[in-house]
Structure 1
Amino acid sequence: MTTTTRIDFLYLSEQDMIRAGVTDMLACVNTMEEMFGLLYHGDYRMAGPNSDSHGAMITFPKDSPFPNMPKPTADRRMMAMPAYLGGDFQTAGVKWYGSNIANREKGLPRSILMFTLNDPDTGAPLAHMSANLLSAYRTGAIPGVGARHLARRDSKVIGLLGPGVMGKTTVSAFMAVCPEVDTLKVKGRSAKSLDEFITWLRSTYPQITNIEVVDSIEAVVRGSDLVTYCTSGETGDPSTYPLVKREWVKPGAFLAMPAGCRMDEAMEASDVRKVVDNTGLYQAWFEELPKPAHNHVPLVGVRFMDMIEEGKLLPDQLEDIGKIIAAEAPGRVNDEEIIIMSVGGMPVEDVAWGTVVYRQALERGVGLKLNLWESPALS
């Protein structure tokens, strides 16, 4: 048997990623569903003591003696998000995540992301890829997986808070699994973002014939079959997070929340089903964060952890979407129940979708092959 020490890897720019299929939302939803099956059966690893951590994050102090240290502006963070995923994937990888809401003033996305895919045996790189689209599509796909199992089949109305990138991909995922949708209500922060979103929506989903711009969160929620909050903002004070009130919510609605959200007491009540993408992820956050944890990570899943600590929610009242996908727990039980799902974002999602896109890039001859070494200078 011959062996070689040569290591090559594939570099994929954003345009390469598009050519390799990163924007195929239905395929992404299907991939995320497969990933959840592996997650439920334990064929994965992430960081942290319980192997469920979101990642390792650098934050910056308000007052630093070093004048060149970055300032803690809104959404300023840097993070490494590593994971391994088994099954048919059999890969590992890490996403490097730099974020600053002030980037928008420079014409840049809030977050700038790169992803490295690795051989899990040797650790050798397989690919280094632009990851903004990778991350956006895998994040948006998770509400689509939830809607496939938990939304009413006759859902027709989407209520969207935040018409940015996350809003677009979440709508794309809803449309991939809920073909009867014909109405969308949207609230945004600026006329520019709303105009851009509506232009995109009309060209991408002409079957949505009724588009309504609303001026309150209540109007987003009322009458909607599918509700999602996709805004970004500062954390620290949950009273500033976008609110969802039970009285606004239509019987039978499915709410998927990949961004900050707070609930009124009626939404926190036990007759509203509470689903998460991975209970272990929120347990890891809860162990890592000061309390109340929702002050530091604004996702409703983190609020669920605070509720358990406060005795307002029993652990067995929290449901994992993986268990539902595995048919070991029921999906939607009836047309009246209200279900809210937290979407936290996990590095196993990047590994899953990154692996699929990488393999398609190889099949399609996309990307630039780069050499790491013929043989290592030190070994």
Structure 2
Amino acid sequence: MSKTKIDFIYLSEQDMIRAGVTDMLQCVDTMEEMFGLLYAGDYRMAGANNDSHGAMITFPENSPFPNMPKPTIERRMMAMPAYLGGTFGTAGVKWYGSNIENKEKGLPRSILMFTLNDADTGAPLAHMSANLLSAYRTGAVPGVGARHLARKDSKTIGLLGPGVMGKTSIAAFMATCPLIDTIKVKGRGQKSIDDFITWVHATYPQITTVSIVESIEEVVRDSDIVTYCNSGEFGDASKYPEVKREWVKPGAFLVMPALCRIDEGLERNDVRKVLDNTGLYDAWYEEMPKPAHNHIPIIGVYFMDMIADGKMTRDELEDIGKIVAGVTPGRVHDDEIIIMSVGGMPVEDVAWGTVVYRNALERGIGVKLNLWETPALR
């Protein structure tokens, strides 16, 4: 057999499901292991500081070229590369195009693919459908946070945005907080709320109460875990959905993977502020005009604006990787309020993509494709 032969596997969305991409508990465990490697430094992402979210193509408001895409809401084309060490030892890149108008065509807002590579040669190992891969790894990160930072007796979730991200976040909370029995949900349209309620009842019979609420305040009040998973326009942070200190019960865990702003009460240093990776926010802050929160609506970016404005010090920020590694404690007492920012990183795709790929190999799933027997150019 030729030593230069390279085969790889293609995994469709159905192949990914068969290979376990929707196994949320395994995904949470995988993300926890990944955060330990981030704390140890055994990873690389793009950019000068090796922590960049990725490289995005942007489009102008006015272009002389009639076929150039317009900068509509959620319009993104982006490559997100990373390497992850430890038991993974792989590299990869997620590529996605996103446009909110896709929904009018019966398509998801984002369409994603992921290529996993051998970290030594760079040869492809797999090319896979990545919508579920990305959705589950995104939801699993709040689950890691809940495992370490939510109260052990948490029973009630407050959810803003019952879409894909909302569902996967709920799945992660259910995997890590077994006493949850109540969800309060606010959405934009009745259809998305009805779909969410049907999904909850079919998937989690232990949920005894799903309440539809009319205001963000109701989402937050009396909730043990609060998560904003909404989509929307960004550019003016004053229009992002707010969390006010007076709404937040003592001991609440707030985990925010979407648009969010906080009031002065939550800015105070008695509220713990946790990031998925400080380096990610440093990279964003270097790349964006100021205030950066107008351009990246994640609450951790606002923390960087606060540091620049002298409202907080850098040592008030904590990385979840340091908590996972046991260097910094998780929840210290039952009444502390903790906010965790979730920005999303390509190392998460590499971690979960590697696990699903190895599952697929073990189970004989996927279509083998040949790159070459011997390369034409060497």
Q: If the TM-score is normalised by the length of the shorter chain, which range does it land in?
A: over 0.9
Q: Secondary structure at the match of 2:165?
A: helix
Distance in 2 between the 1:232 and 1:211 partners? 21
Match of 2:262 in 1: 263
Post-superposition CA distance 1:253-302 (Å, at most 9, x none): 00110001000111111111000000000000000111110010000010
Match of 2:54 in 1: 55
Q: Secondary structure at the match of 2:128?
A: strand
Once the 2 structures are TM-superposed, how far is the Cα of residue 139 of structure 1 from its aligned partner? 0.3
Q: Is the 8 A contact 2:2 2:373 kept in 1?
A: no
Distance in 2 between the 1:318 and 1:3 partners? 52
Q: How do 1:1-379 and structure 2 match up within 5 A?
A: 4-379=3-378
Specify every segment of 5 or more residues in structure 1 that has no aligned partner in the other structure, as ranges.
none
Q: Is the 8 A contact 2:42 2:84 kept in 1?
A: yes
- Residue type matched to 1:113 in 2? L
- Residue type matched to 1:27 in 2? Q
Post-superposition CA distance 1:84-115 (Å, at most 9, x none): 00000000000001111111111111110000
Distance in 2 between the 1:219 and 1:102 partners? 30
- Aligned-pair Cα RMSD in Å: 0.7
Q: Is the 8 A contact 2:2 2:374 kept in 1?
A: no
Distance in 2 between the 1:21 and 1:35 partners? 18
Distance in 2 between the 1:248 and 1:63 partners? 43
TM norm structure 1: 0.99
Q: Report the count of equivalent residues.
A: 378
Distance in 1 between the 2:126 and 2:86 partners? 19
Q: Secondary structure at the match of 2:173?
A: helix
- Residue type matched to 2:347 in 1? V
Distance in 2 between the 1:9 and 1:19 partners? 18
Distance in 2 between the 1:189 and 1:234 partners? 14
Distance in 2 between the 1:240 and 1:99 partners? 22
Post-superposition CA distance 1:139-198 (Å, at most 9, x none): 000000000000000000000000000000000000000000000000000000000000
Distance in 2 between the 1:67 and 1:243 partners? 39
TM norm structure 2: 0.99
Runs of 4+ in 1 over 4 A off after TM superposition: none
Post-superposition CA distance 1:2-27 (Å, at most 9, x none): 86111110000000000000000000
Q: Is the 8 A contact 2:255 2:339 kept in 1?
A: yes
Once the 2 structures are TM-superposed, how far is the Cα of residue 377 of structure 1 from its aligned partner? 1.2
- Residue type matched to 2:296 in 1? V
Distance in 1 between the 2:354 and 2:365 partners? 14
Distance in 1 between the 2:216 and 2:105 partners? 29
Post-superposition CA distance 1:36-80 (Å, at most 9, x none): 000000000000000000000011111111111000110101100
Distance in 2 between the 1:108 and 1:216 partners? 29
Distance in 1 between the 2:130 and 2:231 partners? 19
Q: Is the 8 A contact 2:21 2:136 kept in 1?
A: yes
Once the 2 structures are TM-superposed, how far is the Cα of residue 81 of structure 1 from its aligned partner? 0.2
Distance in 1 between the 2:12 and 2:233 partners? 30
Identity of aligned residues (%): 79
Distance in 2 between the 1:362 and 1:26 partners? 20
Distance in 2 between the 1:375 and 1:301 partners? 48
Distance in 1 between the 2:129 and 2:255 partners? 26
Q: Secondary structure at the match of 2:70?
A: coil
Distance in 2 between the 1:56 and 1:204 partners? 36
Distance in 2 between the 1:330 and 1:97 partners? 36
